[in-house]
Structure 1
Amino acid sequence: MKNLYSKALQYAVSGYSIIPLKKDKKPAITSWLDFQKEPATEEIIEGWWLSHPEANIGIITGKISGITVVDIDVKGDDKAVALSTFPETFTVATPSGGYHLYYQYDPEIKQTANTYPQFPHVDIRNDGGYVVAAGSKTSYLGKDGEKTGGEYKIFRKGEIMPFPRDLFLTEKATSKKKVSKTKLGQKLEQLRELKDGDGRNNAMCSLLGTMLRGQPKTHYPEVRDAFYAIAETVKNPLPRNELEAIWNSIGGRAFEEATMVDLMVNHKQEPYVNLENIKKILMEDPDFKNRVVFDTFLQTYLYRSGEGVAYEELHDTHEITITREISVKYSGFAMVAPDKVRMAIMEVARKHPVDAAADYVRGIEWDKVARLDKWLVNTYGVEENEYHRSVGSNWFKGMAKRMLVPGCKFDYVLVLEGPQGSKKSTSLGVLGGAWHVETTGSPDSKDFLMLLQGNLIIEFSEGETLSRGEIKQLKALITTQSDKFRAPYERHVQTHPRRCVFAMTTNQTEYLKDETGNRRWLPVATVGEANIEWLRTNRDQLFAEAAYRVEVLNETTHEFSDDVMLEQAKRQVSDPNEDRIVEWYVGLTDIQKNAGVTADMVNSGAFLHIGGKLTKKDQMDITGVLRGILKLEKKQVTVQGQRYMRWFPSGMAEEEMESMTTHEAKMAF
């Protein structure tokens, strides 16, 4: 037998008061009652298992552990209560074939043994008792002298549900707090005393009707077996053919009205109008199953009126429809609260997610005709070369990968250049369909992040009008792989993996304003009008090929031709001040360049501004040109014990910088 010390600690940490048990289920310690008031510490538990390394685990029931346990014992006869009699909860199967049903602690329920006539062989473990925990293995001699025992195993996982008090307590308890017999129990006692001619047939019909009340169709075989077993316990049993006639008559009519859903019911076999039962209806009843789902791409709840009908966005009227249909079909739910139905819809839909983007791209079979490398050529009339091949295929593959792998890295923007009327935006609309959106909004707002959800292509129209600050914000945005915000329909902030790609349309030829680098922008100068007909005809196969190349061939999305940087440089917005700085620097001697330059030197040399303090903006503009255009490196050097920060030619050795003397540095300028 394995040592259960670590498992005992897990139970203790979970809030249960535990004790060690012998193999015969008896406490291994004499003072176990002390732990009904205060749970054992970790040190005490460790000591127990050092002394009793083969001990089983006992969980003290009642208030200390927060549980009241229903103990069903089969006893090897036909009077055993069916497990389905009680509401579903966390359940442990015992070696003898019985069950321990864990319910939330109920102080009104006393610990008893077989005192409920309607529930033969059912005990209650509450204050003053304990049960053997799952994972324990017993071994002992039974009353017949035979060795018995076995392992206690978890039979049903899940939450511990409220104790079904109404199954055990009367509505008006007497002063002695006696427990009343249920209608089923009363009928059983009456039936067993009936003789031939006393109305046995009618009594059996009434009994069967009571047994079937509230039972789902899936339980009918079990009810039928129980009915036949009860019929054999009466003093004068009915013949088998008469029992079958009763079953076919009563059971047949009840079966037509029964549902497929195993609902939680009270002692009158009436369903609880609670969230759990509404969820069961939505998930198990064929009339409601798959009526609501959640689209993880569109980030929205979807509804359909029935099997084979297309899904649409869930609206208030749909929730009202489902509420009405439940109240009509299930008589016990006539007054069901719409808010409760709405909560169930939200939870059930989240448990049944769909993904419109992934489903679309995986639902197309590629015909093995290559189109992707030339889609820019065929759509925009550009020259067929390596640059357009790499830009077009990589951007499209990045889009397909975002559809298949939410949040994957892809930080490039396709830029379509061309005059107005060349159908640049129209072509992006054909590609994205309903998942394309055009925006000129600021990229730093929550509304902008919301715009990304449920869209595949985000188009920045009039991209040339973006300021330098907005360009930098945009650069930070497109490199992000997930967004964190609270959606209007949620109460909590959530992480949303990025599912879209970006494109920009412009009428200009110079629009890149970031002097620190523009590697994320992929310029394409369109020629004439876009060939919308070709794009529309080949759209599905373009997506199919892109998906095949990233998912099957595992191709990358970031290998571009050497011409990319050249094309990006052509689009850099020219600045007269930049030209003056470049012209000044190029005119320096090698000695002057190797001595290093500063922003003040540029200000006085290029702009002839002598003296005065540079503004922060002037400093940033100058250093932007030194770094971004001239590709200089800012480094610290020490000259005759003094430290200086200057801009040097890229790759210049430290020793070469250090060799410059203060006199040489001064004389150089």
Structure 2
Amino acid sequence: MSKQDFQNLTKEQMEKLQILLGELQSSSVTEEIPIKEPPLSELFTRDEKGKILQSKNNCLLVLNHDPLFAGKIKYNEFSDKVDICGDFPWKRYSVTYCDNDLRHIILYLESEYGLKKDGDIATAINIAAYDNSYNPIKEKLLSLKWDGISRLPDALHHFLGAAKSRLNTEILKVFMLGAIVRIFDPGHKFEYMPVLVGGQGAGKSTFLRLLAMEDRYFSDDIKKLDDDKIYARLQGHWINEIPEMLAVSSAKAVEETKKFLSTQSDIYRVPYETTAMDHPRQCVFAGTSNKIHFLPMDKSGNRRFLPVEVHPEDADCHILDDEKA
């Protein structure tokens, strides 16, 4: 429409035009139209002939931006492993990344993007994970909301029939604070170990497992402290039970246990890594025993060991009968 056309408009036409322009300005027509992202293949690095390069960078581009993988590949700071979270078109039994996941990811990148180098894909998976780390226990603890009911003071009595005493309350409080602090400050100095003392079937191990919130964060697999595989057994476990404290009946064994509890960081090589690294501890330890005299007399007073006698017959609720009580 030219300037002359505007001059030829009648007053009534001009008023209608002004109304129309006002409606257009207030309508969604003036809203910004989202820019459509180009296909990932257009972002790939290519050779001088325009052919897609078989590179780690292109593999990483897919893992970071393809909707199937974006944000789902994570490094688990607690377990020292790679996790793949979310739904995928293949059967999975755990969030922990495994060889079967790698095989399916290789198949997907080859069929969808023509990326075929297995080694590049495996490297890109590790890079994507380490750039997107998380700690599942820390996230779970931060998500919890207190309902205003104080349960800790009576927990040992309620579930295990331990005496209602300030000492027992403080033992459990110190233990749980130590466990939580080590999640938020790995390697924090914490050398105390409560020892639940009672007969078979008292629910000692079950109680410790419940404190860990999930079964996978609890372990009773520590048999010997001088085991070469002890550090692998600690990986991914928050609450670790040292069963049958009768195993530390000698003075030498007691000293070895004290030294183990006082350690704040462990140096070991994670499977599939090439170098050993320092791993500040994020876990705590609790012992169980059938007899109260599980330690020999010691000049230091054995201050690291905090015994709690349990009597399931006095419990408000037997933990083995109703774990949700």
TM-score interval for Structure 1 and Structure 2 normalised by the shorter chain: 0.7 to 0.9
Task: State the alpha-carbon separation in 2 of the partners of residues 459 and 261 from structure 1.
Answer: 54
CA-CA distance at 1:310 after TM superposition: 9.2
| Contact residue 260 and residue 285 of structure 1 kept, 8 A | no
Q: In structure 2, the residue corresponding to 1:443 is in which secondary structure? A: coil
Equivalenced residue count is 282
Q: 2:64 corresponds to which residue?
A: 283
User: Structure 1 residues 261 and 394, CA, compared in 2 at 3 Å: closer, same or farther?
Assistant: farther
1:465 and 2:252 aligned? no
1:271-297 Cα offsets, whole Å, 9 max, x none, are: 211111111111122232134212111
User: Structure 1 residues 535 and 374, CA, compared in 2 at 3 Å: closer, same or farther?
Assistant: farther
Task: State the alpha-carbon separation in 2 of the partners of residues 260 and 403 from structure 1.
Answer: 41
Q: 1:141 corresponds to which residue?
A: none
1:356 and 2:143 aligned? no
Task: State the alpha-carbon separation in 2 of the partners of residues 287 and 426 from structure 1.
Answer: 38
Identical aligned pairs, as a percentage?
26
CA-CA distance at 1:457 after TM superposition: 1.3
1:476-530 Cα offsets, whole Å, 9 max, x none, are: 1111111111122211011111111111111112122261320011110111256
Task: State the alpha-carbon separation in 1 of the partners of residues 229 and 153 from structure 2.
Answer: 35
| Cα-Cα RMSD | 2.5
Task: State the alpha-carbon separation in 1 of the partners of residues 319 and 261 from structure 2.
Answer: 27
1:267 and 2:48 aligned? yes
Q: In structure 2, the residue corresponding to 1:537 is in which secondary structure? A: coil
Q: In structure 2, the residue corresponding to 1:513 is in which secondary structure? A: coil
Task: State the alpha-carbon separation in 2 of the partners of residues 268 and 260 from structure 1.
Answer: 15
Q: In structure 2, the residue corresponding to 1:489 is in which secondary structure? A: coil
Task: State the alpha-carbon separation in 2 of the partners of residues 305 and 393 from structure 1.
Answer: 35
Q: 1:301 corresponds to which residue?
A: 82
Task: State the alpha-carbon separation in 2 of the partners of residues 420 and 288 from structure 1.
Answer: 47
Unaligned residue ranges in structure 1 (runs of 5+)? 1-216, 219-254, 539-669
Corresponding residue to 2:306 among 508, 522, 545: 522
Query: Amino acid of the residue matched to residue 455 of structure 1?
Result: H
Q: In structure 1, the residue corresponding to 2:306 is in which secondary structure? A: strand
Q: 1:389 corresponds to which residue?
A: 169
Query: Amino acid of the residue matched to residue 159 of structure 2?
Result: T
Task: State the alpha-carbon separation in 1 of the partners of residues 142 and 164 from structure 2.
Answer: 29
Corresponding residue to 2:233 among 431, 448, 451: 451
1:548-606 Cα offsets, whole Å, 9 max, x none, are: xxxxxxxxxxxxxxxxxxxxxxxxxxxxxxxxxxxxxxxxxxxxxxxxxxxxxxxxxxx
Task: State the alpha-carbon separation in 1 of the partners of residues 156 and 201 from structure 2.
Answer: 18
Task: State the alpha-carbon separation in 2 of the partners of residues 493 and 480 from structure 1.
Answer: 17
Task: State the alpha-carbon separation in 2 of the partners of residues 290 and 261 from structure 1.
Answer: 21
1:315-357 Cα offsets, whole Å, 9 max, x none, are: 11111111111111114x2xx1212211111121111112121
Unaligned residue ranges in structure 2 (runs of 5+)? 1-35
User: Structure 1 residues 383 and 261, CA, compared in 2 at 3 Å: closer, same or farther?
Assistant: farther
1:426 and 2:206 aligned? yes
Task: State the alpha-carbon separation in 1 of the partners of residues 140 and 67 from structure 2.
Answer: 26
1:317 and 2:97 aligned? no
CA-CA distance at 1:462 after TM superposition: 1.0
1:629-653 Cα offsets, whole Å, 9 max, x none, are: xxxxxxxxxxxxxxxxxxxxxxxxx
1:414 and 2:201 aligned? no
Task: State the alpha-carbon separation in 2 of the partners of residues 320 and 291 from structure 1.
Answer: 17
Query: Amino acid of the residue matched to residue 52 of structure 2?
Result: P
Corresponding residue to 1:532 among 303, 308, 319: 319
Higher relative contact order by CA 8 Å / sep ≥ 6: 1 or 2?
A: 2
Q: In structure 1, the residue corresponding to 2:230 is in which secondary structure? A: helix
Corresponding residue to 1:500 among 277, 283, 290: 283
Q: 1:329-340 residue pairs with structure 2 within 5 A?
A: 329-331=112-114, 333=115, 336-340=116-120
Calculate the TM-score normalised by the size of structure 2: 0.79
User: Structure 1 residues 277 and 441, CA, compared in 2 at 3 Å: closer, same or farther?
Assistant: same
Query: Amino acid of the residue matched to residue 522 of structure 1?
Result: L
User: Structure 1 residues 261 and 377, CA, compared in 2 at 3 Å: closer, same or farther?
Assistant: farther
CA-CA distance at 1:373 after TM superposition: 2.1
Calculate the TM-score normalised by the size of structure 1: 0.40
Q: 1:245 corresponds to which residue?
A: none
1:348-391 Cα offsets, whole Å, 9 max, x none, are: 11111121211121121111211112211222222222211211
